[in-house]
Amino acid sequence: MAIYEYTARDETGAVFNGVYEDINSVSALKSELAKIDCRLVRAKKRGTGFTTGKGGIKEADIVAFTFKFAGMCGAGLTIIQCLETLENQIEKGTLKIIIGDIKRNVQNGSSLKDAFGKYRQIFSDFFLGMIEAGEAGGKLTESLEISAQYLEKKAELSNKIKSAFVYPIIVLVMSFLVITALIIFVVPTFTKIYKQLGVPLPFATRVLVFFNLAVTQWWPVLIGVAIGTLLLIKYLKKSPSFKRWWDYSKYRLPIFGKLNKLTASSGFIRSFAMLISTGVPIIKAFHVAGIVVSNEKMSEISVDLQKSVQAGNGVADSLRKHDVFPPIISQLASSGEQAGVLALMLNKGVDFMDKDIERMLNSLLIKLEPILTLGTGAIIGLILLAVYMPMFDYMSHLK
């Protein structure tokens, strides 16, 4: 199945653009459009789906769209008017086409949740759950505002984590470039000198010569291995068993395990709290939160939480069984259940967790920066020592 961007003409002669998912060919697209008395003008295949990020739809675009959508709904505009205005505000791009398609689906009688559901990979299960809750409870504006706040918080946390690792990544890249330059340009020069002098090379120097040969003569093989490794990882990511193993392994990492655990539990609890604040049943909220967090370990915990609540246990008691959640979360959940403000207390707990994540990141960086600097210096020093060792040996023989 593929996705087609298309331009069509309706029975009144008006031209419109749209996107059609899960269709085999242009002829099939023509048949589908004919069912609604429309004629295909042109079609362009997009592949199997949209991607977020560079060249696609960014998370910031979805956050901005959700805030605008919520504001317009709150101002009293109809859903069609909101979508039409938002479509016109975007000059071009995939998001404009998607909004136009959602608008037309709603005009044709589709529910808002089903219209957005075609683009689940872009708007997420959490957003769809909030839309469904808003439609069912007559609180669509509130649901959209909460969705926008959640997406904004999630984007802020993601940006903090990315920003925190900018410096270490720069240091690693620069170190790699310096070490590669030494191996490619410095080692061959000294190797030629030692060969002319007939100086025997120690083991460390021979290792450097081997790396030089590998980089300069076997680079096509190295590139092939790198590409093959990336393709293998991409393939393995689609395997449920590998994903499960990887998600569990992230929690057991010596330095980053605690950070990964705290980040996943923060996303899970925030999703759950915001869902129940709009009237989503607790069991369904646990289910959606488990999907949104996109982690096999958290998904299994989500299933266990659902079973625990179905068995008659409270949310606080159910959360307390899993050490992935900090004690403050179960404590606040207990207070919230007793006072009837569970969502509010859990949101406060998540704010504490996010501050802990920020403190943990800062502490991690303080430790990483000197380690990276010293490690890089040590590697470069060892390379230079291996390069000059034969020279020292030669000079000692001359004396």
Residue pair 289/271 in contact by the 8 Å Cβ criterion: yes
Going through 128-242 in order, the beta strands assigned E by DSSP cover none
Q: What is the C-alpha separation between 206 and 210, in angstroms, rounded? A: 6
DSSP classification of residue 335: H
pLDDT averaged over every residue in the chain: 82
Sign of CA dihedral 213, 216, 217, 220: positive
Report the pLDDT value the prediction gives residue 303, as an integer from 0 to 100: 93
3-class DSSP state of 286: helix
Helix, strand, coil shares, percent, the chain, to 5: 75, 5, 15
**Residue 287: phi, psi to the nearest 5?**
-60, -50
Q: Which CATH superfamily is domain 59-154 in?
A: Type II secretion system (T2SS), domain F (1.20.81.30)
- Categorize the per-residue pLDDT at 319 as very low, low, confident or very high, splitting at 50, 70 and 90: very high
220 is written with which tokens?
Answer: 């096509």
Residue pair 157/266 in contact by the 8 Å Cβ criterion: yes
Strand order in the sheet with 15-23: 15-23, 2-9, 39-47
Per-residue pLDDT reduced to its tens digit, 91-124: 767 788 888 888 888 888 888 888 888 888 788 7
Report the pLDDT value the prediction gives residue 306, as an integer from 0 to 100: 94
The CA-CA-CA angle for residues 262, 268, 270, to 5°, reads 100
Question: In the predicted model, is pLDDT for residue 305 greater than 90?
Answer: yes
* In the block, residue with structure tokens 């395990």: 257
Residue pair 222/215 in contact by the 8 Å Cβ criterion: yes
Per-residue pLDDT reduced to its tens digit, 339-357: 999 999 998 998 898 888 8
Q: What is the C-alpha separation between 274 and 285, in angstroms, rounded? A: 9
Q: How many CB atoms lie within 10 A of CB 344?
A: 15
Give the DSSP per-residue string, 53-76: STTSB-HHHHHHHHHHHHHHHHTT
Q: Tell me whether domains 59-154 and 165-399 share a fold.
A: yes
Tell me which of 3.40.50.2300, 1.20.1050.10, 2.40.110.10, 1.20.81.30 is the CATH number of domain 165-399.
Answer: 1.20.81.30
Domain boundaries, the chain: 2-47, 59-154, 165-399
- Categorize the per-residue pLDDT at 37 as very low, low, confident or very high, splitting at 50, 70 and 90: confident
* Length of the chain counted residue by residue: 399
The CA-CA-CA angle for residues 8, 12, 14, to 5°, reads 45
Per-residue pLDDT reduced to its tens digit, 186-235: 778 877 777 777 777 778 788 888 888 887 888 888 889 889 988 888 88
Left (φ > 0), alpha (ψ -120 to 50) or beta: where does 198 sit?
left
Q: What is the C-alpha separation between 3 and 20, in angstroms, rounded? A: 6
